[in-house]
Amino acid sequence: MRPLPRVRSTLRTVLVTATTVATAAVVLSAPAQASTSAADGDHQVTPGDFTGYGFDQCVTPTQSKMNSWMEHSPFAAVGIYTSGYSRACRDQPNLTRKWVSKQLANNWKLLPITLGPQASCQPRFPRYGNDATISPKSKNNYAKARRQARHTAKEAVTAAQNLGIGAGSTLWYDLEGFDLGNTACRESALRFLHAWTNKIHQLHYVSGVYSSAGSGIKMLDDARINRPGKFALPDAIWLARWDGVANTSTSYISEYGWQPNKRVKQYLGGHNETWGGVTINIDSNYMSLGKGSTMPRAGRSCGNVNINIPRFKEITTKNAADRVTAIRVLQCQLKTRGYYKAKINGKYDATTLAATNAFQREHGVKARSQWRVRHWVMLTSAGGQRTVKRGFTGRVMRRLQRSLTAATGRKVPATGVFDAKTEAAAKSWQGRVGLRQSGVINGAAWAKLNDGQY
């Protein structure tokens, strides 16, 4: 996907993108992103609720490349070209129903893209000579352009269904940059996207549109502001603005449209990135879709112990009287893991020492009366593990956030969401222990946390 030259940036930094669901100006309400019916079989909804990084590449990467990038890269979403006669990558040898199922099972968010008829004044199309462009004929309110859009939308839904991408998923139309000042070109493109959205809704999917911030996206935002209610607007927008800034903003449009969590921004154009020894040429995106990455508030542990303290301090027999809160947290954490079975009393007594010594011995360190920072890092990180990164949610994230608080000495809020603060703390810690500062906590990173490295 490429925006107009005037919005391209020479910046070459990294990261990603994407989005879902409805905007207030939508004429027809979009289907909810919920589970599909039994009749849909193994069809799955994507991208769902997510805030984080993504990438897109014309040819769908192989499974081995996807596995490596899940383990090592900061990206958790990927754009895939599923339909459209004008796409450069008509041949997609890796894109199968099995591939889609595998990526969704591996926690990838998928952004299915259609690149069909393009604006009539876009000089690079038709790409093949026989692929149609959007008809600029204004007869009957651009009836031909609207017919083209409905046909393209049906093809997009069929392609999604064949790949196992379920109803409620967002299907993205790629409208490449064009001359916004050409009236017939602009108005026919606007009617095309209007009809695309209506047909996508009728077929129980969610409508998304990718375009240059300065042309297609500005056209939609102008229609939202200046002609409210006249057009069915997409539920989510994917704006191309290569400014190197990983957010969903641009000066080309208002900050109020498609908010919250209905935007993706392609902030960096084609460039090579290497993760886990695997190089892919990508565009980088940042996305906030659905409800965004959220997690319910956690209750207190062990009855009434707040285990999310701002600092995990060293405890000794000499300073125990001043460490009552920390000792209660220590007793609770040891109790949760089966080392401590007595009452949580905040006392660094013989029973507590026996529990700490048992933990130390079982984790390969010398049993001693001091409970040090290394022990805190080991204790807070202990448990089930999986690769996590920006946008991921779950209990394991709270455990990671407590462990990063212990390892860095700075509070990382235990929200259960791998957010910007968690990513910054992860990168800082990785730099201290000799890992690449990717912000990704994978097997190698968990091993160092489990070893108490800080």
pLDDT given for residue 394 in this prediction: 96
Residue 452 region by backbone torsions, left for phi larger than 0, else alpha for psi between -120 and 50, else beta? left
What are the backbone angles phi and psi of residue 328, rounded to the nearest 5°?
-60, -40
Name the residue among 81, 43, 80, 13 with its Cα closest to residue 245: 13
3-state secondary structure labels for all residues of 247-259? CCCCCCCCCCCCC
Residue-wise pLDDT for 207-252, tens only, equals 999 999 999 999 999 999 999 999 999 999 999 999 999 999 999 9
| Residue 158 and residue 203 in contact, taking contact as beta carbons nearer than 8 Å | no
Above 60 in pLDDT, residue 170?
yes
Judge whether residue 12 has pLDDT over 60: no
User: Quick one: pLDDT band at residue 42, thresholds 50, 70, 90?
Assistant: low
Q: Looking at the predicted structure, is the pLDDT value of residue 41 above 50? A: no
Q: Is the pLDDT of residue 192 over 80?
A: yes
Q: Report how far residue 416's alpha carbon sits from residue 298's, in angstroms, rounded to the nearest whole number.
A: 8
List helix spans (H) across 255-316: none
Which DSSP string do the residues of 176-223 spell out, in sequence order? ----TT-HHHHHHHHHHHHHHHHHHHHTT-EEEEEEETTTHHHHHHHH
> Are 111 and 45 a contacting pair, CB within 8 Å?
no
Mean pLDDT over each residue of the chain, to the nearest integer: 92
Whether 203 contacts 154, CB under 8 Å: yes
Give the mean pLDDT of 146-152. 98
As given in the structure block, the two tokens for residue 306 are 């707040």
Sorted by where each begins, the domain ranges of the chain are: 5-289, 320-450
CATH superfamily of 320-450: PGBD-like superfamily/PGBD (1.10.101.10)
Kindly report, residue by residue over 326-381, the tens digit of the pLDDT: 999 999 999 999 999 999 999 999 999 999 999 999 999 999 999 999 999 999 99
300, pLDDT greater than 70? yes
Average pLDDT over residues 259-278: 98
Q: Pairing state of beta strands 50-56 and 278-289?
A: antiparallel
The answer to whether residue 24 scores a pLDDT higher than 50 is no
pTM: predicted TM-score of the whole model, two decimal places? 0.89
Place of tokens 């990261």: 15
pLDDT at 18 over 80: no
CA dihedral (83, 86, 90, 95) positive or negative: negative
CATH 3.20.20.80 assigned to domain 5-289? The reply is yes
Closest by CA position to 383, among listed 367, 366, 368, 363: 363
Alpha carbons within 13 angstroms on the beta-carbon side of residue 188 total: 26
Residue 29 has a pLDDT of 35
| DSSP run (H or E) holding 430 | helix 420-432
DSSP string, 83-100: E-TT-S----TT--HHHH
For residue 437, count other CB atoms closer than 10 A to its CB. Answer: 12
H or E element, residue 359: helix 350-362
CB 99 within 8 A of CB 132: no
Asked if residue 33 lies in contact with residue 273, where contact means CB atoms within 8 angstroms, the answer is no
Among the ranges given (20-24, 205-209, 304-308), the one the predictor scored with the smallest mean pLDDT: 20-24
Residue closest to 375 by CA, chosen among 407, 347, 399, 351: 407
pLDDT band at 1 (very low <50, low <70, confident <90, very high): low
- pLDDT (tens digit per residue) in 378-425: 999 999 899 999 999 999 999 999 999 999 999 999 999 999 999 999
Instruction: Using pLDDT thresholds of 50, 70 and 90, give the confidence band for residue 44.
Output: confident
For residues 267 and 387, the answer to whether their CB atoms sit within 8 Å is no
Band (pLDDT 50/70/90 cuts) for residue 43 is confident
181-206 exposure pattern, b = at least 16 Cβ within 10 A, e = fewer: ebebbbbbbbbbbbbbbbbbbebbbb
